[in-house]
Amino acid sequence: MSIESGSQSVNLEQLAAPEPDGERYGAIWSAHTERLGNGELSVAGVPLSRLAAECGTPTFVLDSADARSRARTWKHAMDEACAPLAGADVYYAGKAFLSKQFARWMVAEGLHIDTASEGELRTVLAAGIPGSACGLHGNNKSRAEIELALETGVAHIVIDSLDELDFVEKIAAERGVQAPVYLRLTTGVHAGGHEFIATAHEDQKFGLSISTGVAREAMKRAAAAPHLNLIGLHSHIGSQIASVDGFAAAAAIVLAERAWAGEQGIALPEIDLGGGYGVRYTSADPVPPTPHMFAQELAAAVAEHVRRSGLPAPRVSIEPGRSIVAPAMLMLYSVGTVKDVAIDSGKRTYVSVDGGMSDNIRPALYEADYTAALANRVSTAELRRARVVGKHCESGDIVVRNVALPADIHRGDLLAVPAVGAYGYAMASNYNMLTKPAVVAVDDGRITQMLRRQSVDDLLAYDLG
């Protein structure tokens, strides 16, 4: 496992000058992150020492212009690639990170929002966004979620099982409406960085199996159901995918099912090829394909399907989330306890910060790797092997497993961990009764609070004892 440099050397490769329109998909830090002349890190014109003084730590720091640029790049790539077909839609995967303002920014850039719960859907609606700009996912949708989707006119409900197909038909019949639905197919294509986030193999909770014939049964039943409007097929093969090959293979399988449906007289005007587009968390990670590369590959698969089947081209949608928000956000921590621990190869410096697994569970859950950098100054001290850990009562409470940090790092320093926008705040918890951090957006020297920091009083308010 490589050791990431977290000192001034981060200024070289990872803090490169911003490139136009968000085409920095190999970058670990956001487009407007730089190291100032006095040695401290700054994001979008805001020195991180100023941000810590005004907002406290730990705090999620969003480079809002970078996130919007990445969304815009996906939209442009899909529009260009699918222009010869029937067009394209990009659904931002709200599960990665969601707030009312962030949803507004995504829609302003031409995206729709993919939601996976009542809470996510209500957040988008509360932002003033119509249901028609939303999709609803989930393997076990409640009656309340389905009713809300029908009431607000969502673009589609993604059906995940035969049981759910009957459930949605029943609720739509009670209301005297037709529910617009996709069917989520299990293609058998397995892609992604960890078994827990690979979602297209058979032995897992999502989707209608193609190999067992359940997918085709679902197509026939949905097409015949009087209160379902079957408009498309859906596929999602995993997360943190750094190659176009898996997407191309899954697209070909789903499109073959669309061709079969056409032979049965079932018209499917749309197809959703999911998300899972990867990013880099450390310099050891492969550079992922650009949105343009993914879009061209997907469009080519659809064009070949149209040529072979003779069917009209479908409208194509995708669901990027991580690739839009992950590199656009960093976590700013304050350093507390620093101590050296003897290990077989010498010693390791343990750097404790004022957060941990409650604001980034991915290292503990998926063994995900991150890097870190000293944020408030540049040090000329030698680099030491370090491990950044949190303050929770768990030995697995690790933020960055291996990183090179200056030997003189000490209590009160600031530490920045990049690429936390996806699933950091979204999966945050109150373990050990820690409060969830604030989320702030920075742009052109301004700090805007998006989600306020929880207080202990907030936690006590839930306790009715």
Three-state secondary structure string covering 398-463? EEEEEEEEECCCCCCCEEEECCCCCCCCCCCCCHHHCCCCEEEEEECCEEEEEECCCCHHHHHHHC
* 82 flagged as catalytic: no
Longest alpha-carbon distance in the chain: 72
Q: Which of 311, 299, 309, 312 is nearest to 273 (CA)?
A: 299
User: How far is 343 from 352, CA to CA, in rounded Å?
Assistant: 18
- Burial level of 144, CB count in 10 A (0-12/13-18/19+)? exposed
Catalytic residue among 55, 82, 134, 393: 393
Say how many CA atoms lie within 13 Å of 41 toward its Cβ: 35
- What is the DSSP secondary structure assignment for residue 44, as one 8-state letter? T
Q: Which residue has the tokens 């949803």?
A: 103
User: How far is 43 from 330, CA to CA, in rounded Å?
Assistant: 9
The answer to whether the CB of 391 falls within 8 A of the CB of 352 is yes
- What is the DSSP secondary structure assignment for residue 302, as one 8-state letter? H
User: How far is 400 from 388, CA to CA, in rounded Å?
Assistant: 5
The answer to whether the CB of 57 falls within 8 A of the CB of 354 is yes
The catalytic residue positions are 393
